[in-house]
């Protein structure tokens, strides 16, 4: 019973831990995921594209990249060689491949040095025509901005030749756009609308939305693919997120339900209703040895009548329990009930249990044997040999 209760407690504690960890992730989902509605998600970027009549497909990193006007890869820094080559081929074919962060394998390289102060660089320093009329993108307070260094022939904006937040690298019939970091397109910055009650459109968003809409080619009749975040083993970059972040919203819901089920089961198993109830054993142990030992002790007292009374009281107590009688029922009534149960002569049973005098040790020995036989027949249905 103790082991069972211990397992139940462990199950409850495990369920609570799972619930706390999973619930602590909230309903926002994984960071940089198109379905995530929290500050680190991309749901507003997807909503913005659809507001502009853009057809948006959310794909995996290994899905085909055909007939898309733009491919947006938030976790580009984790790409391996074959994946990067597929992106380069899509750009050569005419797509705008937008890297949400710099990659060592494709696009412009990152500048990991002093960081950038976008406000110190005038807008006239922008060499991307479609971005020249925009102010600097919004950056979350306290964010250290690492820039992207333009290469020969690259265009840049919101920075200088030493490092910018947006760098456009023409390639083949298309282009590779390297963004300095996720603050340019995450919900935490795209949610900053000029009119809070209006839908997220370029006219109702600060310049982060307009920058993303331009480089990702949002607009009527356009097709854009958004690649879900991925962290393949051994990839470069910041490395994989924690295990919970990799579990999607549906997976977390399933685990929360399993945790609730484990919690309910643990409570049901471990609970105790009312006071403990002592159940009779399936097989009662014969008390002949105990009776004999007590008899030997009492015999030394040279009191056959007193010993007889003690033996009778023990058998009468057993009879009351076996017959379901009150513990204070008169001895005569118990003797009558025993006789009825065993279909024996009432006077004989009454004499044995109540009235037959015991004046010497021989009579005591005979009484003890008869009482033991009666007890065995009452409990087991036969005498105990």
pLDDT of 27 above 50: no
User: Would you state the pLDDT for residue 355?
Assistant: 84
pLDDT in tens, 127-165: 999 888 887 787 765 555 568 889 899 999 988 888 888
User: Would you state the pLDDT for residue 257?
Assistant: 74
Other CB atoms within 10 Å distance of the CB of residue 46: 18
User: Would you state the pLDDT for residue 298?
Assistant: 60
User: Percent of the chain having pLDDT more than 70?
Assistant: 66
DSSP string for 261-318? HHHHHHHHHH---SS---PPPSSPPP-HHHHHHHHHHHHTTT-HHHHHHHHHHHHHHH
pLDDT of 237 above 70: no
pLDDT in tens, 357-378: 888 878 888 888 888 888 888 8
Q: What residues does 227 pair with on adjacent strands? A: 59
Give the pLDDT band (50/70/90) at residue 66. confident
How far apart are the two ends of the chain, measured CA to CA in Å? 35
Q: How far apart are CA 155 and CA 178, in angstroms?
A: 11
Q: How far apart are CA 105 and CA 110, in angstroms?
A: 11
User: Would you state the pLDDT for residue 24?
Assistant: 47
The residue among 149 and 298 whose pLDDT is bigger is 149
Q: List Cα–Cα distances, 193 to 38, 63, 127, 183, 200, in angstroms.
A: 16, 33, 26, 15, 7
Other CB atoms within 10 Å distance of the CB of residue 35: 16
User: Percent of the chain having pLDDT more than 90?
Assistant: 19
The residue among 71 and 198 whose pLDDT is bigger is 71
User: Would you state the pLDDT for residue 57?
Assistant: 94
Q: Is 286 exposed, middle or buried (0-12, 13-18, 19+ CB in 10 A)?
A: middle
pLDDT of 329 above 80: yes
């Amino acid at each position: 019973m103790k082991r069972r209760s211990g397992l139940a407690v462990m199950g409850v504690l495990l369920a609570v831990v799972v619930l706390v960890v999973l619930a602590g992730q909230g309903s926002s989902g994984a960071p940089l995921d198109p379905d995530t509605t929290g500050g680190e998600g991309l749901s507003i970027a997807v909503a913005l594209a659809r507001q502009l009549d853009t057809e948006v497909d959310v794909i995996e990193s290994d899905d085909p990249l055909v007939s898309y006007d733009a491919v947006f890869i938030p976790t580009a820094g984790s790409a391996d060689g074959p994946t990067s080559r597929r992106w380069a081929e899509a750009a050569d074919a005419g797509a705008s491949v937008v890297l949400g962060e710099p990659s060592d394998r494709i696009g412009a390289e990152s500048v990991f040095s002093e960081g950038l102060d976008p406000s110190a660089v005038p807008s006239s320093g922008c060499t991307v025509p479609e971005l020249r009329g925009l102010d600097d993108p919004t950056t979350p307070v306290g964010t250290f901005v690492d820039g992207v260094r333009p290469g020969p022939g690259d265009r840049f904006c919101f920075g200088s030749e030493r490092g910018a937040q947006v760098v456009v690298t023409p390639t083949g019939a298309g282009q590779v756009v390297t963004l300095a970091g996720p603050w340019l397109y995450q919900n935490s910055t795209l949610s900053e609308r000029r009119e809070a009650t209006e839908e997220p459109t370029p006219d109702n968003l600060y310049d982060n939305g307009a920058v993303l809409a331009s480089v990702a080619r949002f607009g009527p009749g356009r097709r854009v693919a958004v690649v879900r975040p991925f962290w393949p083993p051994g990839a470069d970059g910041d490395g994989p997120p924690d295990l919970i972040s990799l579990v999607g919203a549906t997976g977390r819901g399933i685990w929360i339900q399993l945790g609730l089920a484990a919690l309910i089961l643990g409570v049901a198993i471990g609970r105790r209703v009312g006071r403990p109830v002592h159940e009779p054993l399936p097989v009662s142990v014969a008390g002949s040895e105990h009776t004999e030992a007590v008899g030997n002790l009492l015999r030394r007292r040279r009191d056959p009548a007193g010993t007889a009374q003690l033996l009778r009281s023990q058998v009468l107590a057993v009879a009351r329990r076996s017959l379901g009688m009150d513990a204070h029922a008169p001895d005569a009534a118990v003797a009558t009930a025993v006789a009825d149960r065993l279909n024996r002569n009432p006077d004989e049973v009454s004499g044995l249990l109540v009235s037959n005098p015991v004046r010497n040790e021989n009579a005591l020995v005979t009484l003890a044997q008869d009482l033991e036989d009666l007890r065995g027949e009452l409990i087991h249905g036969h005498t105990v040999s």
